[in-house]
Copies of this chain bind each other. A is one copy, B any other.
Amino acid sequence: MSSHIPIGRKVTLNDIAAGCGVSRATVSLVLRGSPLVNKLTRARVEEELRRQGYVYNRAAANLRRRTSTSIALVLNDLANPFFAEFAAGVDEALAAAGFVTLLGCTGESPAREQAVLGSLLEHGPAGIILSPAEHSRAADVLAAVGRRAPLLLFNRELGGALPEFAHWDQLMLDNQHGARLATEHLLERGHRRIAFFGGHHDSSSCRQRHAGYAEAMRGAGLRTEPHWRIECAPTRLDAAHHTPALFAGAFAPTAAVCYNDAVALGLMLGLNQRGLRPGHDFALTGFDDIAEAALGMPPLTTLSAAPRERGGQAAELVLERLQQPQAASRQTVAPVRLIVRESSCPPPIT
């Protein structure tokens, strides 16, 4: 009568079956809501399930059915708010579909990525969502994963040639289009001398963003100066450091499309140090829409990739792939949205 809390060993189908004089198979049918069982037996069994506090053992069921209800989520950096949001989106969508998330973090190390993939695979996930570590190679990922689970690549491309039969799905951000939007926005505001600031040339996202910028400039019939493209690490500090390079040559730019928000915030610092007021004397845009972007001084015009929605989308893509294991691989490019704030002012009147 009192609330019954199980104490000893785990309750199994056999215990329930014995408890209400019915066979194991029948209890199993009840659990899965089969229409075969008689109403009365069902009620009796359900009562007993409750009474004994039965918990379904999905591992055993999955073993027998040769199925899986987990998806591995392997991230390069969970501490990064962008990926944390993404993970939250993935988990939410997976949970809604009755799946469970197996988490793994690689900390940007390809070696740990290998270890993590190996360990997670032993738990037999139905699929894998992977945001690769920097410099992770396609061949290594293939060796670890093989054909054991469908893989969705998120956010980054893998290094090295992709073996022709590895039909991996991809979900990438529209870096190129995003950067073009930002550049066109600055052009509309009246800027003509626009720089592309920050990022490493060997990162695929940086190349794509620069391509979008170049496309917009070409589209407006504008030439660019070599010193309008500054390479630096995608951190605030390094960006602040490299600010003077922007003004080293003739034709100093009046605006900059930055590789990402961190770089843009760093550039703001650097501008302040030169006595330039970002958002007044110099315009700039970021990429990612991190939390600080909205609260900067001034608030930063940037591109939002809606990481939470991307997470949901990634989950959907993997789940769809489970339905259609043989379908052709899909390369999805997620749109990004321009968020206009005060940092993208018109050029100062000269």
Contacts and interface: CB of A to CB of B under 8 A. Distances in A.
Interface in A58-88: 58-60, 62-63, 69-70, 73, 77-81, 83-85, 87-88
Nearest to A165: B5
Given A63-B63, A79-B308, A308-B79, A5 B55 contact: no
Given A6-B148, A81-B81, A236-B295, A101 B100 contact: no
A265 interface: yes
A292 interface: yes
Interface string A130-159: 000000000000110011100000000000
Interface residues of A, number: 60
A143 B107 CA distance: 37
Most buried by B among A7, A115, A123, A265: A123
Given A55-B121, A102-B100, A105-B92, A6 B147 contact: yes
A291 interface: yes
A124 B291 contact: no
A322 interface: no
A2 B105 CA distance: 31
Contacts of A107: 92
Given A121-B55, A308-B79, A102 B103 contact: yes
A141 to B, nearest CB: 12
A124 B59 contact: yes
A165 B83 CA distance: 39
A221 interface: no
Contact of A102 (B78, B102, B121, B297): B102
Interface string A184-226: 0000000000000000000000000000000000000000000
B79 A84 contact: yes
18 contacts: A3-B143, A5-B146, A55-B148, A57-B124, A59-B62, A73-B103, A77-B88, A79-B81, A79-B84, A79-B88, A80-B84, A87-B103, A91-B104, A98-B119, A100-B102, A100-B123, A101-B104, A297-B297
A312 interface: no
A13 to B, nearest CB: 13
A105 B79 contact: no
Given A3-B143, A103-B101, A146-B53, A123 B292 contact: no
A350 to B, nearest CB: 28
A95 B111 CA distance: 13
Given A143-B3, A146-B6, A58 B122 contact: yes
Nearest to A84: B84
A292 B295 CA distance: 9
Given A236-B295, A292-B292, A78 B91 contact: yes
Contact of A84 (B62, B78, B292): B78
A122 B57 contact: yes
A3 B146 CA distance: 11
Contacts of A62: 59
Interface string A149-181: 000000000000000010000000000000000
